[in-house]
Amino acid sequence: MARRESRHVPYDEAQNDAHAAFWADPSARSRRRGRRRDAEKARPRQTPRPAARQGVRDEPRRDAPPWRDPWQEPRPEPRSEPWPEPRPEPGRPVRQRPRQQPRQRSPRETVRDEPLTVLPWDVPFDAREWGASAPDARRAAPRAERPERPEPPPRRPEPPRAPARRRPPARRPHGPADRLGTGALVLSIMVGLGLLAVVERTLLEGGPIGGTDTVGAQGRAERSRPRATRPAEDPPRTAPARPDRDRGGAPAPAPDVQALTDRVRRITLQERGAAARQKYGAAGTAQPIVGTDRISRDRTWAFGTTAIPVPDDSAALPEVAFFAARWTPRSGWQAALSGTSGFGALLTRMPPALMSADEARALNRHATVTAEQAAAAVNGARAGDGLVLPWRVGATWSMGAVPTRNSPRPLGSLTFWGGDGTVTAAGDGRLYRFCSAGGGGLVLLVHPSGLATTYYRMRDVVRVRPGSLVRRGEPLGRTGTQRPCGGAPASRPDVQFGLRRGADDVPFEGARLGGWTFRERAAPLLGFAERGDIQVLTGGLLANLGLAAGPAGSDGPKGERPEKKPANDKRRQREDPQQ
């Protein structure tokens, strides 16, 4: 590496030379202060003024005096000096170290012991000035009056520096401080190389990973959220890498998304197949529908949804699950479904670019919530999520329930239709879509308590990024007859509504939604919604009383709210074109 060239000599180098000089000859006087090394090298080897030349003062000396050791020379008597007071003589020069590259010195070039603000080669030797300090000499003999002073040698821009690597070998770093510095340097280089790898991966996979919903500060800002992503204001962001679109004909790296899909299908059938068979009343024949919502840039982490399609003769809600997967070179894809033990571990280790910490928390809560916790969250035993019925508060829709085979639940497939057909979110939560290859699909909202609500058979499903935050009352889609996850065809456009936790469906028994409490009776297989004395059977009309109605069946001023139902009913008749 090139040495840095500079005009000044740093203190430690000069000082170091002073040290070396001192230890080389401790009896020598120190010349450490204010001397540059090369200046010391150029120190005049001045001979004492011979007495024979005392009278010769007319012409300047033109020849450089040859080097003679002043100590070997006979000393003139100080009293014989013609000057009234003895002038200081330059001291004995510091012993010179062998110079690697001897400098060509002009014969004129002699240096006086003078302040170094005057460069040595600016002052030619003048015997008349011997013993006087340089400014005095200049004053005594101005330039104009100096006889035939020749041109000074061209001023060098850079004084000749001592060649590199002049330091004694003891200067090699060996102290603990140097080891620390080296260690820091090594660590820095390693971090830099790691950053290089990170940057390279990012560039290879197409620019910075923008567009997660965690741009900006998460922590404190999070509390002022949830910020709703309205479909009107939030155009669909760049779709996460979809296996079928994104990978096209690209040369497949080892983490293969098709292999991931196969693996998730197998796991889904293993872990959810039995539950699906019981729910559907028959074994599904189709393969599970796997959607890889997100995949990391290096294709080693993936998150998505899987669903077992419903046979055509069953009206049950599809059996759905989230999956998280990781690819390792040794064992390939490792995937876990929500509700199983490995899911939470994979979620928390997932890259933050793929899944923000709070989303991972919400999903983990959803995956691990027990049946009791879910029931308590929805039946008022605990402060739940404040769920309402999935349409505009104040409007009245019809409630239906298709009886399913082999299902002990009369409200196992609860459907609603009516109003303007706009299905709204039952509560705040994060939105995910299943079987969403065609853009629609089953919508699942994961609420803060971990409970989720599902909305099926909708058309015009809102196009937001999976995992976006949705507020209560925001539109999710319109009642429809779509069956992306299979199922029996519906006789009218409706929305199939359900409660869900990570591992299983949550029964409607005791659930309080929009001021109503849902009941399921087994003795006569019967499901209904009740509020106070009013009971609405399936097929009846249900007004969404919202949160203001308070808990269902409560006394107090809200007790007569159900009496308003006829009024709502009339309005419904007015505004519902489908009825």
Partner 1 sequence: MKTRSSEDPLLPTWALAVTAFGALIVTVGAVTPPGAALAGGLQRFLSFYAGVFTLLTMTTAVVTGVLASERVLLRIHHRVLFQGVHRAASVLAVTFVVAHLLVKVLGGVAAPVNVVVPGVDPVGLGTLAFQLMLVVAVTGVLRARFALRARPWVWRSLHSVAYLAWPVGIAHGLTAGRAPANWVVLGYVLCMGAVALAVLTRLAVSTRPRRIGHAGEGLTPAPERRPAASRAETAVPEPRATVGDPRGTRVAR
Half-sphere exposure of 343 (CA within 13 A, CB side): 27
CB 229 within 8 A of CB 465: yes
R_g of the chain, CA atoms, integer Å: 46
Residue closer to partner 1 (CB basis): 268 or 468: 468
Q: What amino acid is encoded at 424 in this protein? A: T
Residue closer to partner 1 (CB basis): 265 or 361: 361
Residue closer to partner 1 (CB basis): 92 or 571: 92
Give least dist CB 326 to partner 1, A. 9
Residue closer to partner 1 (CB basis): 184 or 283: 184
Give least dist CB 220 to partner 1, A. 6
- Using the contact rule CB under 8 A, the part of the chain among 303-311, 352-360, 362-370, 448-456 near partner 1 is 352-360
Contacting residues for 170 by C-beta, under 8 A, at least 6 apart:
none
Q: d(Cα 39, Cα 214) in Å, to the nearest integer? A: 64
Give least dist CB 349 to partner 1, A. 8
- Using the contact rule CB under 8 A, the part of the chain among 87-95, 479-487, 536-544, 559-567 near partner 1 is 87-95
Among 50, 183, 408, 439, binds partner 1 (CB under 8 A): 183
Give least dist CB 68 to partner 1, A. 17
Give least dist CB 39 to partner 1, A. 6
- Using the contact rule CB under 8 A, the part of the chain among 102-110, 185-193, 489-497, 562-570 near partner 1 is 185-193
Residue closer to partner 1 (CB basis): 32 or 519: 32
Residue closer to partner 1 (CB basis): 106 or 328: 328
Residue closer to partner 1 (CB basis): 92 or 138: 92
Q: d(Cα 268, Cα 482) in Å, to the nearest integer? A: 23
**Cα–Cα separations (whole angstroms), residue 497 to 282, 399, 447:** 21, 10, 15
- Using the contact rule CB under 8 A, the part of the chain among 136-144, 337-345, 348-356, 491-499 near partner 1 is 348-356
Residue closer to partner 1 (CB basis): 315 or 464: 464
Burial 479-498 (b: 16+ CB within 10 A, else e): bbebbbbbbbebeebbbbbb
- What are phi and psi for residue 170, nearest 5 degrees? -65, -15
* Residues from 282 through 341 that contact partner 1 (CB under 8 A): 296-301, 327-329
Give least dist CB 112 to partner 1, A. 11
Give least dist CB 360 to partner 1, A. 11
84 near partner 1, judged by CB under 8 A: no
Peptide bond into 226 cis (omega under 30): yes
Would you call 397 helix, strand, or coil by DSSP?
strand
Burial class of residue 32 (count of CB atoms within 10 Å of its CB; 0-12, 13-18, 19+)? middle
* Residues from 205 through 264 that contact partner 1 (CB under 8 A): 208-212, 214-222, 253-255
Contacting residues for 59 by C-beta, under 8 A, at least 6 apart:
147
Residue closer to partner 1 (CB basis): 153 or 168: 168
Strand partners, 458: 479
Looking at the chain, the number of H-run helices and the number of E-run strands are 11, 20
Among 13, 234, 504, 576, binds partner 1 (CB under 8 A): 13
Q: How many residues line the site for partner 1 (CB under 8 A)? A: 99
Structure token pair of residue 338: 């929500």
Give least dist CB 445 to partner 1, A. 24
Residue closer to partner 1 (CB basis): 105 or 237: 237
Give least dist CB 364 to partner 1, A. 15
Give least dist CB 111 to partner 1, A. 12
Residue closer to partner 1 (CB basis): 204 or 232: 204
Half-sphere exposure of 213 (CA within 13 A, CB side): 25
Burial 420-456 (b: 16+ CB within 10 A, else e): bbbbbbbbbbbbbbbbbeeebbbbbbbbbbbbbbbbb
Give least dist CB 317 to partner 1, A. 35
Q: What amino acid is encoded at 337 in this protein? A: L
Structure token pair of residue 356: 């923000």
CA dihedral 523, 525, 531, 532 (to 10 degrees): -30
* Residues from 19 through 38 that contact partner 1 (CB under 8 A): 22, 26-30, 32-36
Structure token pair of residue 365: 């809560």
Contacting residues for 436 by C-beta, under 8 A, at least 6 apart:
291, 305, 442, 461, 484
Among 147, 154, 157, 192, binds partner 1 (CB under 8 A): 192
* Residues from 356 through 385 that contact partner 1 (CB under 8 A): 357
Q: d(Cα 418, Cα 494) in Å, to the nearest integer? A: 8
Would you call 234 helix, strand, or coil by DSSP?
coil
* Residues from 97 through 156 that contact partner 1 (CB under 8 A): 113, 116
- Using the contact rule CB under 8 A, the part of the chain among 148-156, 179-187, 432-440, 480-488 near partner 1 is 179-187
- Using the contact rule CB under 8 A, the part of the chain among 143-151, 198-206, 498-506, 563-571 near partner 1 is 198-206
- What are phi and psi for residue 415, nearest 5 degrees? -125, 150
Q: What amino acid is encoded at 527 in this protein? A: G
Count of Cβ atoms closer than 10 Å to residue 260 Cβ: 25
* Residues from 156 through 175 that contact partner 1 (CB under 8 A): 167, 170-171, 173-175
Give least dist CB 141 to partner 1, A. 21
Give least dist CB 353 to partner 1, A. 4
Among 47, 57, 62, 78, binds partner 1 (CB under 8 A): 78
